Amino acid sequence: MEPTLSRSVETNGKIRPKQRLSIDYVGYAMIAPGYLIYFLFIFIPLVVGVYYSFTNYNFYSAPEFVGLQNYARLLQDALFGKAMYNTFIYALFTIVPQLFLGLILAVLLNGKLFGRVFSRASIYIPNVTSMVAVSMIWLWIYDPALGILNRMIKVFGIDPIQWLYNPNTAMMAVVIMSIWKSLGYTMIVYLAGLQSIPSSLYEAAHMDGASKIRQFFSITIPMLKPTTFFILVMSCINSFMVFEQVNIMTAGGPLNSTTTVVHQIYLRGFQDFQMGYASAMAIVLFLITLVITLINFKYGNQGDDLDVD
Partner 1 sequence: MGKLRSRSMGLVVMSVVLLAVSLVMLTPFLIMVLTSFKTMGEIQSPTFSLFPKVWHFDNYAEALSRGDWLKYFYNSFVVTIITVVISLVLNSMAGYSFARLRFPGRDILFFSVLIGIMVPAQTTMIPTFLMMKQFPLAGGNNLFGQDGIGFINSYTGLILPFIAGSFGIFLCRQFFLNFPRALDEASQIDGASKFRVFYQIYLPLSKPILATLAIFKTTSAWNDYMWPLIMTNTEGMRTVQLGLTIFRGETNVEWNLLMAATTLVVLPLVVLFLAAQKYFVQGIVTTGLKA
Q: Which of 65, 122, 153, 203 binds partner 1 (CB under 8 A)?
A: 122
**Closest CB to partner 1 among 93 and 190?**
190
Q: Using H for helix, E for strand and C for coil, what is the string for the chain? A: CHHHHHHHHHHHHHCCHHHHCCCCCHHHHHHHHHHHHHHHHHHHHHHHHHHHCCEECCCCCCCEECCCHHHHHHHHCHHHHHHHHHHHHHHHHHHHHHHHHHHHHHHHHHCCCCCHHHHHHHHHHHHHCCHHHHHHHHHHHHCCCCCHHHHHHHHCCCCCCCHHHCCCCHHHHHHHHHHHHHHHHHHHHHHHHHHCCCHHHHHHHHHCCCCHHHHHHHHHHHHCHHHHHHHHHHHHHHHHCCCHHHHHHCCCCCCCCCCCHHHHHHHHHHHCCCHHHHHHHHHHHHHHHHHHHHHHHHHCCCCCCCCCC
Answer yes or no whether residue 123 interacts with partner 1 by CB under 8 A.
Answer: yes
Among 17, 67, 115, 222, binds partner 1 (CB under 8 A): 115
CA 112 – CA 107 distance, rounded (Å): 11
Query: Footprint of partner 1 on residues 50-89 (CB under 8 A)?
Result: 52, 59
Tell me which of 2, 30, 81, 85 binds partner 1, using CB under 8 A. Answer: 30
**Choice from 99, 237, 254, 295 touching partner 1 (CB under 8 A):** 237
* Shortest Cβ 31–partner 1 spacing (Å): 5
Question: In angstroms, rounded to a whole number, what is the distance separating the alpha carbons of residues 243 and 260?
Answer: 7
Give me the least distance between CB of 115 and partner 1, in Å please: 6
Sign of CA dihedral 279, 280, 281, 283: positive
- Judged by beta carbon, residue 250 or residue 257, the one nearer partner 1 is 250
Q: Quick one: which of 92, 136, 221, 255 contacts partner 1 (CB under 8 A)?
A: 136
Q: Is residue 138 at the binding interface for partner 1, with CB under 8 A as the rule? A: yes
Stretch of residues binding partner 1 (CB under 8 A), selected from 86-94, 120-128, 164-172, 201-209: 120-128
Assess 236 for contact with partner 1 (CB under 8 A). no
Q: How far, CA to CA in Å, does 283 sit from each of 110, 120, 181, 205, 286?
A: 41, 38, 27, 50, 5
Question: Binding residue for partner 1 (CB under 8 A) from 13, 17, 18, 41?
Answer: 41
Contact letters (x/-) for partner 1, 249-278, by CB under 8 A?
-------------x--xx--xx----x--x
Size of the site for partner 1 (CB under 8 A): 106
Least distance CB 65 / partner 1 (angstroms): 16
Give min distance, CB of 23 to partner 1, in A.
Answer: 5
Minimum distance, C-beta of residue 257 to partner 1, in the bound complex (Å):
19
Which residues inside 139-168 make contact with partner 1, applying CB under 8 A? 139-141, 143, 146, 148, 151
Contact flags string 169-208 toward partner 1, x per CB under 8 A: -----------x--xxx--xx-xx----------------
